[in-house]
Structure 1
Amino acid sequence: MSTLQGTRSAADLLTWSRQQVEPALRAAVETLPPATRRIVAYHFGWADEDGNPAHADGGKAIRPALVLLTAQAVGGTAESALPAAVAVELVHNFSLLHDDVMDCDTARRHRATAWTVFGLGPAILAGDALLGLSFDVLVGSGHPAAGEACRTLGAAVQELVDGQLADAEFETRDDVTPAECVRMAQLKTGALLGCSTALGALFGGGRSDQADHLRLYGEDLGLAYQYVDDLLGIWGEPSVTGKPVFSDLRRRKKSLPVVTALSSGTTAARDLSTLYHREGDLSDTDLATAAALIEASGARATSQSQADALLAAALTELATATTPNPATTELTTLAHLATRRTH
């Protein structure tokens, strides 16, 4: 496994993370029963729907990269943190399999989603299998911190599920407040990123105070990440994001920019509310109008500003937790990527 030699670009870091984690991730998935393994291999981009080898996009691997770099930032090694990196990637993909079903998304990473290929029930069960496997990987690592890591991961999963429940509930409510929406995003996305950095600190042999500050770094970064993800769900380029244009607006999702716009008290907010609560499906013209109204309300700029502020808060926690070293520099690089990405 490679070690840090200076600092690398965000793209190089993510490539490095995938190269370190994928062999162990594949080895873990190989322990699953054949029927489940087939669905999971398709979801990860390793196989086509018939089980033939493929090389599709497997995702950005930001969470595993955070685990490995955090371990190094506290003086440990990436090798020691590899089981934790695999575990968080398994949990992340458990959530994606379920999220695609809940949102009725038909495309992810430029491919048909697993549920559209294998069915709703099989995709849900495959996600369940990944969740169980994540704890097997941690326990099987034999690391002295494995027990605490399992408790940390378990708490993060409970928060993630709570956030997903809130997200689903918001779709049937007309009175979602910005504070509720922020809390939902903290649970849905921030919890697992915070868990990733906390686990990296644990498996890297960091002190408890370092783990606490690095968890906060991850949580702030996770909320910033969700702000940007929600912006991309409206204005992202489909050829880059792998999702249909205006995908979140089509479902009338109460994302951070949408709730910010609806709560802005502007003329655009009133027009958006009328459009968003109209009976029947929204046309492509309606969706373009909704996006324009969100921008006119100032919510697009506000959301990016909030992401930038959270980035600053995250970097403060990182500086508090560690002394400057190549890994902290690269954690800063990843943090900037999260708030200025295109997919």
Structure 2
Amino acid sequence: MTPSASEVLAPAAPSVPRLLERCRDLVRPALTEAVERLHPWLGEMAAYSFGWCEVGGAPVDASGGKGVRQALAVLGAEVAGVPGPSGVAAAVAVELVHTFSLLHDDIMDGDPMRRRRATAWKAYGTGPAVLAGDALFALAVETVAWTPGGPAGMRLLSAALTDVVSGQADNLLFAARPWSGPERVRPEEYRTMAERKTGALLGCALSLGAALGGAPPATTAALERVGRHAGTAFQIVDDVLGIWGDPAVTGKPVHGDLRERKKTYPVLAALDAPVPAARRLAALLESVDVPDEALARHAAALVTEAGGRTAALAQARRHLAAVESGLAELPLAGPAVDELRTLLSFLVRREL
């Protein structure tokens, strides 16, 4: 069963596609110019990763993704009332860092496909994809360093990157831990990992443009907190979709995360529950290395029976409430704030 939007949040306003398009159009020239500064081979791999070309460099007539993170950077700057170029520079840096993290994550996770085509490491090889990711990281640092608010921006970016790397380290270590017993992964450990791995970059996206434009530190910090909560909610909703999502929407098979034995929030919350279904779920997950569809379907039913799905949606709602509270505390108003609220609603109610 696919989670409805009403399970998590009210439907997003119809203006979201136009908002994302506006921000993409604003950022794309600067992002293209940055990528063109790379070594041509690295630039081609970067363009492939953004969805701009095929292997070999043939152009593709596509937007290269929704561009939510760059839109957050633009809106964060607009909300804070800082000059427009600060938001664009922040958007370029955040998009470069996000793509760098995807290049490396796909290698670590062994994922062969992303957005319905081969991942960069499958298309170009592992070594080249690692190098392309390194190049994008260096380019992001250069982009921030050359802005007028570079020092403040570098502090934000470096703190976010430290958290992203720490979160990914925890995520990799979780895979080796047992499904039951005192060494199992607890839901709160996973929530902390999600805040670091996913929330930190969204918090950086929302606050970096404000920081680069010289916004008051209190405003920048408030935007960073809002982004972190939104990112954590997004990850937990993504976990729900990874089990029960509609393949036509997510691009992934139903029960896919269970078939891959991923330790996601709904599963961990179910395993933590003091009910018989939790013990049956642990026994099932410990009994097979690669569950077939029938076993994955049974596991999903046990997750629901043990309360894992309900617990995940409740946790997402708590972070959404923190997002709303954080936005309400900002001494700001106007169209940009309304657009930001709409975009954050969109972010946490579907897979991006």
Normalising by structure 1, what TM-score? 0.92
Q: What fraction of aligned residue pairs are identical, expressed as a percent? A: 45
| Paired residue type of 1:209 | A
Q: CA deviation at 1:109?
A: 1.2
Amino acid in structure 1 at the alignment position of 2:165: V
The Cα RMSD (Å) is 1.7
Which residue type is aligned with residue 103 of structure 2?
Answer: L
Q: How does 1:150-229 map to 2 (within 5 A)?
A: 150-174=154-178, 175-229=184-238
Give 2:287's aligned residue. 278
- The 8 Å contact of residues 57 and 109 in structure 1, kept in 2 or not, is answered as no
Rounded Cα–Cα distance in structure 1 between residues aligned with 2:45 and 2:277: 44
Contact 1:66/1:200 (8 A) holds in 2: no
- What corresponds to 1:246 in structure 2? 255
The amino acid of 2:161's aligned partner reads V
Partners of 1:324 and 1:225 in 2: CA distance? 24
CA distance in 2, matches of 1:21, 1:74: 18
Evaluate the alpha carbon distance shift between residue 233 and residue 190 of structure 1 in structure 2; reply closer, same or farther with a 3 A threshold: same
State how far apart, in whole Å, the 2-side matches of 1:123 and 1:161 are.
18
Q: Distance in 2 between matches of 1:137 and 1:329?
A: 28
String of CA shifts for 1:22-48, please: whole Å, max 9, x gaps.
Answer: 221111111111221121111111111
Kindly provide the amino acid, as one letter, of the partner of residue 166 in structure 1: D
Runs (5+) with no aligned partner, structure 2:
1-12, 179-183
Residue of structure 1 in register with 2:328 after alignment: 319
Alpha-carbon contact 2:27-2:91 (below 8 Å) kept:
yes
How many pairs align?
335
CA distance in 2, matches of 1:51, 1:238: 30
Q: 1:342 to 1:158 in 2, by over 3 A?
A: closer
Residue type of the alignment partner of 1:146 = G
How far apart, in 2, do the equivalents of 1:87 and 1:23 lie?
A: 13
CA distance in 2: counterparts of 1:139 and 1:121, whole angstroms: 27
Structure 1: gaps spanning 5 or more residues: 1-6
How far apart, in 1, do the equivalents of 2:254 and 2:338 lie?
35
Larger deviation: 326-335 or 245-254?
245-254
Judging changes above 3 Å, is the alpha-carbon distance between structure 1 residues 60 and 267 closer, same or farther for their aligned structure 2 residues? farther
Secondary structure of 1:277's aligned partner: helix
Question: Deviations along 1:125-155, whole A, 9 cap, x unmatched?
Answer: 21111111101111233x2x11110121011
Q: How far did 1:8 drift?
A: 7.0
- Distance change in 2, residues 1:280/1:332 (3 Å): same
| 1:262 aligns to 2:260 (yes or no) | no
Cα distance change on mapping 1:311 and 1:23 into 2, 3 Å? same
Secondary structure of the equivalent of 1:154?
helix
**Which deviates more from structure 2 when the two are superposed, residues 237-246 or residues 114-123?**
237-246
Letter in 1 for 2:303: I
How far 1:334 sits from its partner (Å)? 1.3
Q: Distance in 2 between matches of 1:272 and 1:330?
A: 42
Is the 1:67–1:84 contact (alpha carbons within 8 Å) kept by the matching residues of 2? yes
- Tell me the equivalent position of 1:45: 51
Correspondence for 1:112: 118
- TM-score normalized with structure 2 length: 0.90
The amino acid across from 2:29 in the alignment is P
For the structure 1 residues 198 and 105, does the alpha-carbon distance in structure 2 shift closer, same or farther, using more than 3 Å as the test? same
CA-CA distance at 1:248 after TM superposition: 2.2
* 2:78 corresponding residue in structure 1: 72
Deviation at 1:11, TM superposition (A): 2.0
1:56-67 superposed matches below 5 A: 56=62, 58-67=64-73
Q: Judge conservation of contact 1:10–1:333 (CA < 8 Å) in 2.
A: yes
> Given that residues 111 and 242 in structure 1 are in contact (C-alpha distance below 8 angstroms), is that contact kept between their aligned partners in structure 2?
no
1:295 aligns with 2:304: yes
Cα 1:220–1:75 shift into 2, 3 Å:
same
CA distance in 1, matches of 2:253, 2:48: 20
Structure 2 CA distance for partners of 1:78 and 1:307, relative to 1, 3 Å = farther
